[in-house]
């Protein structure tokens, strides 16, 4: 199989598997006071320090979670509740139109259960939020804004947002900014302190680590109301017994991915550009979505190095996906969390695409196990796959007219 869905999840590094396996043989609850508990606590705190050092944070700012979805929910709901408790007038939440559903659905939950006014920040045709857009939204009623959430890099089209500038604008109005950096950490130059953000989401399985392990980086002075209550672990904002082996695996993956990021980013960008060129040579009317990747944002590339997102006119994305899967090529129509849901990409619609274009798109995403052979595998079959998908679409259309 040719695996080109690293944006959904990427294989664990061998070193991570070894670290987790060794830790699984040891017993001890990190909250217990006896020797076994203290050993686990030491392993957790050393892992916390390793994560913090790699991402430019203080150890006390690393709140360990089960991954991106929990961290996003904790940030959006927890920051809102804390801000609203301090100032009852703050019932506006600003999020971008291209966020992952972990953000969008959290915000919608606040609409339905807390009567929050959620405002969606528009993006340009590349899928990027401009600082001027955020400033205009904040200026309309700044005293009512509780928080802003804008993702660091989009999981579907790979466009990178100017997070430092956005954080600076939010702080001009005294509003905290959260960023979902799940796709960014481990490949882009992410520095929590330098970015100026107040909260940042990362997860292990996107960067060579385990499933079910992640973190919310939370500024030391940032108030946050917990979603979970119990033992008071993790600064009393995230109760629950810590999965020590997974925490060790997370720290190992974060260190390895960030240390190798410059080399890997260059290699992945080469594979990305090679694939785009070969697909367009075979299917000339295919369209690359998102930023072209030739610019610089916050000291890094303007597009995720391993992301290729293409629209194929006259095709259904699901048909293309299954036809490619039959050829041994595994890719995606977008976010893995919405796979199988018959609806066009909300990201492409927000970027101005029509529904047909949004439905006829595929995401190929490279990672640390990808090679030029993966590019060649796609190039060898993409022409015939698109032809079959188009014929199928035409037949379905004709049948519908009858």
Q: Which residues participate in catalysis according to the annotation? A: 337
The contacts found for 141-144 with CB under 8 angstroms, 24 or more apart, are 141/92, 142/173, 142/174, 142/175, 143/89, 143/90, 144/89, 144/90, 144/91, 144/92, 144/117
How far is the C-alpha of 381 from the C-alpha of 372, rounded, in Å?
A: 15
71, 179 in Cβ contact below 8 A?
no
Q: How far, CA to CA in Å, does 186 sit from each of 55, 208, 304?
A: 9, 9, 11
How far is the C-alpha of 217 from the C-alpha of 171, rounded, in Å?
A: 18
How far is the C-alpha of 127 from the C-alpha of 131, rounded, in Å?
A: 13
- E strands, 248-315, are 287-288, 296-297, 300-301, 307-311
| Residue indicated by tokens 């686990």 | 40
Q: Is the dihedral of CA 324, 330, 331, 332 positive or negative?
A: positive
The helix (H) or strand (E) run that includes residue 269 is helix 261-282
- Beta-bridge partners for 149: 95, 178
**CA 147, chain centre distance (Å):** 19
90, 83 in Cβ contact below 8 A?
yes
156 burial (CB, 10 Å; 0-12 / 13-18 / 19+) is buried
How far is the C-alpha of 269 from the C-alpha of 183, rounded, in Å?
A: 15
| Residue indicated by tokens 């240390």 | 259
**Closest C-alpha to 137, from 103, 84, 109, 96:** 96
Question: Interior CA angle at 294 toward 293 and 296, to 5°?
Answer: 90
């Amino acid at each position: 199989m040719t695996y080109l869905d690293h944006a959904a999840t990427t294989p664990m590094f061998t070193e991570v598997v070894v670290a987790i396996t060794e830790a699984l043989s040891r017993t001890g609850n990190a909250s217990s006071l006896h020797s076994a508990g203290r050993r686990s606590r030491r392993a957790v705190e050393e892992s916390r320090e390793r994560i913090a050092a790699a991402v430019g944070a203080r150890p006390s700012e690393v709140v360990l979670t089960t991954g991106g979805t929990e961290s996003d929910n904790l940030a959006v709901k927890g920051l809102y509740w804390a801000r609203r408790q301090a100032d009852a007038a703050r019932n506006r939440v600003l999020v971008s139109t291209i966020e992952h559903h972990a953000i969008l659905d959290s915000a919608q939950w606040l609409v339905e259960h807390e009567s929050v006014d959620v405002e969606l920040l528009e993006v340009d045709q590349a899928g990027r939020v401009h600082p001027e857009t955020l400033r205009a939204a904040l200026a309309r009623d700044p005293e009512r804004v509780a928080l802003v959430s804008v993702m660091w890099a989009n999981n579907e089209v790979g466009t990178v947002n100017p997070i430092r500038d956005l954080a600076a604008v939010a702080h001009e109005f005294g509003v905290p900014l959260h960023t979902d950096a799940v796709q960014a950490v481990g490949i882009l130059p992410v520095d929590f302190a330098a970015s100026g953000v107040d909260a940042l989401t990362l997860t292990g399985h996107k960067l060579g680590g385990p499933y079910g392990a992640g973190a919310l980086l939370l500024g030391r002075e940032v108030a946050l109301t917990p979603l979970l209550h119990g033992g008071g672990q993790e600064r009393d904002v995230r109760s629950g017994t810590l999965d020590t082996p997974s925490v060790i695996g997370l720290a190992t993956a974060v260190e390895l991915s960030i240390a190798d990021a410059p080399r890997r980013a260059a290699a992945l960008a080469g594979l990305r550009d090679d694939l785009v060129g070969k697909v367009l040579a075979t299917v000339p009317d295919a369209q690359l979505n998102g930023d072209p990747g030739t610019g610089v944002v916050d000291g890094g590339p303007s597009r995720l190095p391993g992301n290729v997102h293409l629209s194929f006119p006259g095709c259904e994305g699901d048909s293309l996906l299954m036809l490619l899967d039959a050829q041994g090529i595994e890719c995606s129509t977008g976010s893995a969390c919405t796979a199988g849901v018959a609806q066009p990409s909300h990201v492409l619609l927000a970027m101005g695409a029509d529904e047909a274009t949004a439905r006829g798109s595929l995401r190929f995403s490279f990672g640390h196990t990808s090679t030029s052979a993966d590019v060649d595998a796609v190039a060898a079959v993409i022409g015939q796959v698109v032809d079959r998908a188009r014929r199928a679409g035409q037949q379905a259309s004709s049948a519908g007219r009858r």
